[in-house]
Amino acid sequence: MRALQLAFLLCSLPSLLALKTQDWKTCPQSAFCRRGRALAARATEAGSSWKSPYSVDPASVAIVPNEASFSAAVTSSIYPDIKFQLDLYVLQDGVVRVRMDEVDGLRKRYDETASWALIADPKVSSEVKWTVGKKDVRAVYGDLSVVVQFAPLKVALLRNNQEEIVLNGGGLLHMEHFRTKRQPPPLDDGDSDQEVLEVEKNLAAWFEGEEDMWWEETFKSWTDSKPKGKYLNMFNRSLYINYDTGPESLSIDIDFPHHGHLYGIPQHATLLDLPTTSGADPVYDEPYRLYNADVFEYLASSPMSLYGSIPLLYAHSATGATVGVFHVVGSETWIDVAHPSKDASHTHWVSESGILDTFLLPGPSPAAVAAQYARLTGTPALPAHWALGYHQCRWNYVSSDDVRGVQRRFDKEDIPVDVFWLDIEYAEEHKYFIWDKKTFPDPVDMINDVEAIGRKMVVIIDPHLKRASNYPIYKEASDIDVLVKKPDGEGEFEGWCWTGSSSWVDFFNPKSWGWWKTLFKTTPSAGGKYSWVDSTENVGIWNDMNEPSIFNGPEITMQKDAVHYGGWEHRDVHNINGMLFSNQTWQALYERSDPPKRPFVLTRSFFAGSQRFGAMWTGDNLGTWEHMDVGLKMVLANNLGGMSFSGADVGGFFGNPEPEMLIRWYQLGAFFPFFRAHAHIDTKRREPYLLDEPYKSMLRDIIRLRYKLLPVWYTAFRETSVTGSPVLRPQFFVFPGDERGASIDDQFYVGSSGLLVKPVTIKGATETTVYLSDKQVSNVECIYPAAF
């Protein structure tokens, strides 16, 4: 029994694999990632002789009067006819924004990511002044300075004249420009067979080598037509058509010469202190991928992409200094991580499309970096008090009577619970908003029964709409033309999800916003529009499958050549897509009542800025000790990325955990900001009251402890809603000057309460070790919860 009684230590301190990996691409299978890594390999091979081809035209430097910004023309020695523009800004809090875009290109690159991620246009300083020299432009403010070297182009942020962040120091900047597809060499009827073979050999070299999948790309059975680079009948020698086209990937190296630890870029199932992917003896042979995907039963240690993407990176030094970068790109991105030395870090970011728009966050502390990021993208929304309690969910509670029965059992066993959840089976044929009246004949009465004793319900609403004429939600969306389009821009995109044949609302289309809000009204809408009268003003919403998950799509998601509002391809906005869904749902709930109530929205897919719209969880995890352990590391990384209201499915979504594992998972989950038990439809029922003694009493006491500490949790959420500092804080965040604690990710602090939590995630453990920094005071009080 001792192994189960040792739950964790609460220390009062002063304030301070069943995964089908082949369903998702590797870097070698992604043409632009392959090209980006090849560029890095050539630079490494060339050594000191490698120089970036990009340079600033000194004569073009234009200082903006009365503010700390300037613009300049940039050219590439490889493509001298292609023009770029560089814009630099020093913001009022010392953050530096670097933007570069192609000028007068054949097509416009996607440049709207920042408009979705940022809360407003950042305020540019009016105090900082630029000095233009023969070799560079520089600005000095306090102990910070920014230097933009002309040839080759390099941007560096310095503190006390020491480089802290360097862009393009290794010369890997490369913005693939749009171009007109080249004509093949002409063929005459009189050409010899040898001449024909030579021409075809050259063609193969163009399209398989130098022109590596510029115009079309295949993965398994899917073909990405790349309409921006579409061509017709490549080997029909009589019919070649030029298109204004070409690849558009963006590559940039970002170095931290004096910072040996890197954290962030969630979401990945890995250590908090990011393992290497390049350089000498890398831990992983693949880069970290940011590409929102429905990776169920994901590996417990991998750089593979998962459900969300936040391109924010913290770099931390042995002296405690911390800086960060926020790389505002919404397309698929791969990131290599290396440590050239113990105290230095190198990163290489390769994105499929978009412009260079990167914020350099000068810190100098972890809390300062978090605050700088929060001023850009917003702080987490302050949740309703009830949302901080215990949530009970499974796929699925199958009827109104089932929900009422679960509630009665919780009350009979005197186990606290605040929220009951309904998964997809409540909806008739998975037509969201429409109750299956065979199993849920009285939804409002059921909800009222739950709410009558101060509890709440959360109901799932997924983004796919069943393509059926008798489904009013789909019919209205189709009638007002707010659905994602096919690659040719005509007709509705069609895919397969829980509802069968489905279409997806295009939340980039402003016409969808007001319409979506009407759906959540609990009183009849005017003009015959649908409203959810079978609901109440207190029901929370669960937005799942919003990567988007498409069962018959490439990598189980939407094809990249589908078209969104404004003519943008899905490739440009993929990682932003899920955030817009939860954003509009949050807005709908906020306007559902008068006066407004704090909405509760849970999302699976997320991007930078998603913290403004509620909670997230780590997706379809496994009921294994490894997943329990990595879930903590993922929640810590998500907190650093601004997603403080985060958690992992307690008990694991898949599988049937043994009692010891389930107890340990509740002990951990009770100290996640979002505390929810959830399970797959094929698992055994495992509500806390179903366990035999003594396990049932253990779970009761664990959940009660959560409720005893609600003032601590609410205070921590209030703090993060103001400062941006995470609710869960890793060791380095609280004690940045302690190098020995820099990589610790198996214990954490709750806000600034001084509450240190050390969970046990190892089977059969009878003891554990808590790390206390030398900088912590000696009068530490540790509580051994004997009831566990």
Q: How far is CA 696 from CA 291, 625, 686, in A?
A: 40, 20, 11
Q: What SS3 string covers 597-623?
A: CCCCEEECCECCCHHHHCEEECCCCEC
User: How many Å from the N-terminal Cα to the C-terminal Cα in the chain?
Assistant: 9
Tokens matching residue 555:
């990598």
Q: Which candidate in 506, 547, 738, 746 is catalytic?
A: 547
CA 785 to chain centroid, in Å, comes to: 36
Residue-by-residue DSSP string for 720-766: HHHH---SEE-HHHH-TT-GGGTT--S-EEETTTTEEEEE--STT--
Taking alpha carbons only, the member of 263, 258, 273 closest to residue 321 is 258
Tokens matching residue 58:
């000194």
| CA–CA dist 164, 150 (Å, integer) | 19
**Reduced to 3 states, what is the DSSP secondary structure of residue 520?**
coil
Among this protein's residues, is 620 annotated catalytic? yes
Taking alpha carbons only, the member of 12, 8, 10 closest to residue 759 is 8
Q: How far is CA 660 from CA 3, 173, 656, 724, in A?
A: 8, 51, 12, 36
**Whether 224 contacts 217, CB under 8 Å:** yes
| CA–CA dist 360, 377 (Å, integer) | 14
**Whether 546 contacts 581, CB under 8 Å:** yes
**Whether 233 contacts 292, CB under 8 Å:** no
**Whether 681 contacts 653, CB under 8 Å:** no
- Burial class of residue 768 in the structure, from the number of CB atoms within 10 Å of its CB (0-12 exposed, 13-18 middle, 19+ buried): middle
Tokens matching residue 37:
């890594």
- Burial class of residue 311 in the structure, from the number of CB atoms within 10 Å of its CB (0-12 exposed, 13-18 middle, 19+ buried): buried
Q: Which candidate in 255, 418, 572, 620 is catalytic?
A: 620
Contacts of 208 (CB under 8 A, 6+ apart): none
| CA–CA dist 421, 274 (Å, integer) | 34
Burial 218-254 (b: 16+ CB within 10 A, else e): eeeeeebbbbbbbbeeeeeeeeeeebebbbbbbbbbb
Among this protein's residues, is 544 annotated catalytic? yes
Instruction: List 163's β-bridge partners, or say none.
Output: 158
Contacts of 436 (CB under 8 A, 6+ apart): 425, 426, 427, 428
E strand or H helix at 318: none
Q: Which candidate in 176, 418, 425, 544 is catalytic?
A: 544
**Whether 639 contacts 613, CB under 8 Å:** no
Active-site residue list: 544, 547, 620
